[in-house]
Structure 1
């Protein structure tokens, strides 16, 4: 299901409110109202149909950590939702439960999760959450499927972003055996979905296995792949503007801060920790859906940092196709190598996403990118908007962005 369609039912619920009519006589002055928070929670597939879902946290409205607190209502699409108003500036910490701490949310692998945090802003907002697993779940834990030489950077903090995040780093097969060699780097968004089924939301890209096979066969240049985990701020961090359509309630527009984190903080950390080739021509950025959108936005904003761009199933629609306008507004074409793709079934019967992506392709071509040279555009027949679909074509993406050089680099 596309991100556009996934929230359609919840959006209708959001709009289904009544309006009162004032009686005769003088109209009293409007009273300032506290901002409204609308919580929307996606739950695991093994959640009992008759389950009650709660938000429990540090505020009286959230039960003061009593295990229940704020009760949610099941929507027709299976998500749970509720609303409340709190004063601007209120700092919240909370978790999702099914009414007790024995049923609190856990990570995909069954581990304890950090408290969710939120500071109430000055405007009403929708808060979308996903529960990976319940503490009392009887479903078998997904196995870890990481392959090859993988390292982790845990709880990486940022001056530009509010939440810490993990980073997974895949190293090429000869990394330890060839200590004088330096490698190009590919940074990828949604890092928990790239290499490990135990941390993925709905399947992994098999980035590690695919890269291992292609590097060992000499099909692609040996490289380092850096997967940056997302957070609850994914919609905000992966979008360059707020949406003006059906997703306006989700906010957005913090991609530039996310870009500063990548360019000013994470890349220097990776360059210091691992043997990288630091130049823009050796550095790539890739992601799917909103990750594809933010890849192109940051690739255009930082052409002296990222010049190999994997724009996979991009959410071109966001902000009234703002990314297309940005491409058209370029004063100078950067010397970037760009992969753009879309599956023909990503809108489930509609050609909307395909049409949007064609507009993006045409804008790139008008700016000077040449198909078959520094632009690869492809429509994949029958492909859906899923991790498994992206895994199927990751080998082609990697071969286009990091082809094996005629003479091995050292």
Structure 2
């Protein structure tokens, strides 16, 4: 039997998106002990390059897997051109629909074809920070057949998010890890200064009213990777704690 690799592997995949009209260079994290005969839960990350470089999520996840704190998972880092980030991630952005179509109609099929990743709604988490958290929640609101688990760190929630939640029927299918830094009361954005603490508290309340399962955390920190990096172990444990099942693929 071929020996399993004991170190993480980062692979690269290129997707020529017909929706976004650009090439996306996706990073795929394969965990320590990776075995292609095993189906792994997955985590898709907006601002994925920043999560790998600034959030150190690959290093943190690998150590947690080795320590037995979380089960092995496959992580998918989706990069974004910062010049069009708001256009793609904001629910009001003129490229937002195309971004959602890229995720659902181009990224998911590639992952299904090439990796043993559990793409069922219960096996997959989608997440991000700031507008990446917003984009992740809106994907779950629009495509509950694909996404029911959301990681949102310091979500930059807008009125469009509030309105969509209010207009939604029951969100009992949704599980969300939602964190916010207590110093995020005047975050500078292209839309002006935003009080993200107040906005996250409001979204938390609305999600609860719609019967979503919300793990809500307020922590000391500002709208920076310093906060999000420190917050990641709790988020990873919430979704991928060691009691979660890992399934054998049919041979």
Structure 1 length as normaliser, TM-score? Answer: 0.55
Q: CA deviation at 1:267?
A: 0.9
Q: Which residue of 2 aligns with 1:148?
A: 8
Residues 207-238 of structure 1 show CA distances to partners (whole Å, capped at 9, x for unaligned) of: 10111011122222211000000013211100
Q: CA deviation at 1:163?
A: 2.1
Q: Which residue of 2 aligns with 1:215?
A: 65
Q: State yes or no: 1:376 paired with 2:218.
A: no
Q: SS in structure 1 opposite 2:179? A: strand
Change in Cα spacing, 1:293 to 1:407, as seen in structure 2 (3 Å) is closer
Q: Which residue of 2 aligns with 1:158?
A: 17
Kept after mapping to 1: 8 A contact 2:126/2:151: yes
Q: Which residue of 2 aligns with 1:361?
A: 204
Superposed, 1:7-156 pairs within 5 Å as: 148-154=8-14, 156=15
Q: State yes or no: 1:289 paired with 2:130.
A: yes
Whole-Å Cα distance in 1 between the matches of residues 156 and 194 of structure 2? Answer: 13
1:238 to 89, 107, 116: 89
Can you give the 5+ residue segments of structure 1 that lack an aligned partner in the other structure?
1-146, 197-203, 242-251
Q: Which residue of 2 aligns with 1:399?
A: 237
Residues 69-108 of structure 1 show CA distances to partners (whole Å, capped at 9, x for unaligned) of: xxxxxxxxxxxxxxxxxxxxxxxxxxxxxxxxxxxxxxxx
Q: Which residue of 2 aligns with 1:193?
A: 50
Q: CA deviation at 1:407?
A: 5.3
User: Normalized per residue, which structure has more helix?
Assistant: 2
2:33 to 160, 174, 183: 174
| Stretch deviating more after TM superposition (347-356 or 294-303) | 347-356
Q: CA deviation at 1:255?
A: 1.8
Whole-Å Cα distance in 2 between the matches of residues 219 and 229 of structure 1? Answer: 27
Superposed, 1:261-272 pairs within 5 Å as: 261-272=102-113
Kept after mapping to 2: 8 A contact 1:292/1:312: yes
Q: Which residue of 2 aligns with 1:224?
A: 74
Q: Which residue of 1 aligns with 2:150?
A: 309
Runs of 4+, deviation exceeding 6 Å: none
Change in Cα spacing, 1:366 to 1:356, as seen in structure 2 (3 Å) is same
Residues 19-54 of structure 1 show CA distances to partners (whole Å, capped at 9, x for unaligned) of: xxxxxxxxxxxxxxxxxxxxxxxxxxxxxxxxxxxx
Whole-Å Cα distance in 1 between the matches of residues 120 and 71 of structure 2? Answer: 16
Q: Which residue of 2 aligns with 1:84?
A: none
Q: SS in structure 2 opposite 1:205? A: coil
Whole-Å Cα distance in 2 between the matches of residues 348 and 333 of structure 1? Answer: 29
Whole-Å Cα distance in 2 between the matches of residues 404 and 267 of structure 1? Answer: 25
Can you give the 5+ residue segments of structure 2 that lack an aligned partner in the other structure?
1-6, 188-192
1:322 to 154, 160, 180: 160
Q: CA deviation at 1:254?
A: 2.5
Q: CA deviation at 1:358?
A: 0.5
Kept after mapping to 2: 8 A contact 1:303/1:334: no
Whole-Å Cα distance in 1 between the matches of residues 47 and 73 of structure 2? Answer: 19
Kept after mapping to 1: 8 A contact 2:71/2:244: no
Higher RCO, Cα 8 Å, sep 6+ = 2
Bigger Rg, which one: 1
Q: CA deviation at 1:288?
A: 0.5
Whole-Å Cα distance in 1 between the matches of residues 113 and 152 of structure 2? Answer: 27
Q: SS in structure 1 opposite 2:119? A: coil
Kept after mapping to 1: 8 A contact 2:12/2:26: yes
